[in-house]
């Protein structure tokens, strides 16, 4: 079986990766992008702008932040900083996945290009399946999945943007809330350390209050402030309590 897999060409592995569009993670993400189309329509974002955001920003939480802050009239500098900070969390995924998909002959420019398609869904799917792919074909496999997933959802946003206007109010409302539900679930599920979940809870609790106090900068302040406060709590209370418990058990 392994020898047969190695004999397949790059185009066959690209198509195998593209078939991942029918996997459960991809289907869940596609449903969430229908919700993003409804969210963009509600926020006053045009169809072309929503499609451009999908293919260029790609990560759904970052697009939600961008759309929400645009709708609230936030300053462009605050928007750029908030979206950048949201996207920085993808760096560990890129750092862990690129060594798995590259080979000795993979050019750097290709890895830089493919890193654009690394987000939560692509990372989870590839991590689960890349071990079955011969090393020399892993780049083609990931390219097939990542590019197909991105282009499919871009087209889906374009098609559904016009359809959501014809949906019953209840259906449109459910779709509208799919995006924030996906955002909440994906962040919580990928937060492996307690301090990250603490920062998330602090941001969720303080966000609505900050929206009333400092509209336009609420997401930025809640994100930076929540992360900083969570770090301080973990650093000076949780960690010290754990160390105290260890010393007590040792004595």
Whether 103 and 130 have beta carbons less than 8 Å apart is answered as: no
- The total number of structural domains in the chain stands at 2
Sequence-ordered list of residues with C-beta below 8 angstroms from that of 131, at least 6 positions apart, any chain? none
Say which residue, 119 or 167, is predicted with more confidence: 119
Q: 200 and 181, same structural domain? A: no
Whether 225 and 206 have beta carbons less than 8 Å apart is answered as: yes
Cite the DSSP H helix spans in the chain: 2-7, 10-18, 24-43, 47-56, 60-71, 76-88, 91-101, 108-114, 120-129, 138-163, 169-190, 194-213, 218-233, 239-250
Task: Report the candidate in 28, 23, 5 with the shortest Cα–Cα distance to residue 127.
Answer: 23
Q: Which of 190, 215, 233 marks a domain boundary?
A: 190
Q: 209 and 133, same structural domain? A: no
% pLDDT > 70, the chain: 84
Q: 140 and 198, same structural domain? A: no
Q: 166 and 238, same structural domain? A: no
What's the pTM?
Answer: 0.70
Q: Is the dihedral of CA 144, 147, 150, 152 positive or negative?
A: negative
Lowest average pLDDT, out of 23-37, 106-120, 130-144, 234-248, goes to: 234-248
> pLDDT of 27-73, one tens digit each?
888 888 888 888 888 888 999 999 999 999 888 878 888 888 888 88
> pLDDT of 170-211, one tens digit each?
776 676 676 667 667 766 766 667 877 888 888 888 888 887
Q: 66 and 36, same structural domain? A: yes
Q: Cα 186 vs. chain centroid, distance in angstroms?
A: 7
Q: 237 and 185, same structural domain? A: no
Q: 39 and 134, same structural domain? A: yes
Q: 224 and 142, same structural domain? A: no
Q: Which of 190, 213, 230 marks a domain boundary?
A: 190
Q: 167 and 80, same structural domain? A: yes
CA–CA gap between residue 125 and residue 110 (Å, rounded): 20
Q: What angle do CA 52, 56, 60 make, to 5 degrees?
A: 95
The boundaries of the domain holding residue 224 are 192-251
When computed from its CA atoms, the radius of gyration of the chain, rounded to whole angstroms, is: 21
Q: Which of 170, 190, 210 marks a domain boundary?
A: 190
Q: 233 and 206, same structural domain? A: yes
Q: 120 and 21, same structural domain? A: yes
Q: 203 and 141, same structural domain? A: no
């Amino acid at each position: 079986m392994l020898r047969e897999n190695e004999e397949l060409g790059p185009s066959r592995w690209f198509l195998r990766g593209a078939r991942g569009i029918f996997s459960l993670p991809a289907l869940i993400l596609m449903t969430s992008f229908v919700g993003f189309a409804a969210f963009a329509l509600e926020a006053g974002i045009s169809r072309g702008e929503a499609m451009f955001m999908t293919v260029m920003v790609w990560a759904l939480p970052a697009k939600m932040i961008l759309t929400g802050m645009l709708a609230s009239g936030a300053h462009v500098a605050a928007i750029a900083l908030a979206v950048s900070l949201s996207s920085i969390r993808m760096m560990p995924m890129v750092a862990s996945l690129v060594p798995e998909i590259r080979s000795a002959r993979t050019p750097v420019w290709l890895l830089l290009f493919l890193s654009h398609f690394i987000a939560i869904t692509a990372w989870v799917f590839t991590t689960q399946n890349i071990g079955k792919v011969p090393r020399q074909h892993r780049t083609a496999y990931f390219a097939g999945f990542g590019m197909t997933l991105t282009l499919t959802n871009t087209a889906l946003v374009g098609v559904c943007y016009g359809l959501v206007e014809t949906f019953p109010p209840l259906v449109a409302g459910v779709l509208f809330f799919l995006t924030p539900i996906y955002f909440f679930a994906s962040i919580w599920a990928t937060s492996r350390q307690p301090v990250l979940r603490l920062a998330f809870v602090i941001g969720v609790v303080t966000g609505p209050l900050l929206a009333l106090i400092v509209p336009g900068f609420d997401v930025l302040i809640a994100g930076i402030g929540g992360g900083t406060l969570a770090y301080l709590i973990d650093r000076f209370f949780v960690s010290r309590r754990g160390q105290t418990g260890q010393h007590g058990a040792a004595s």
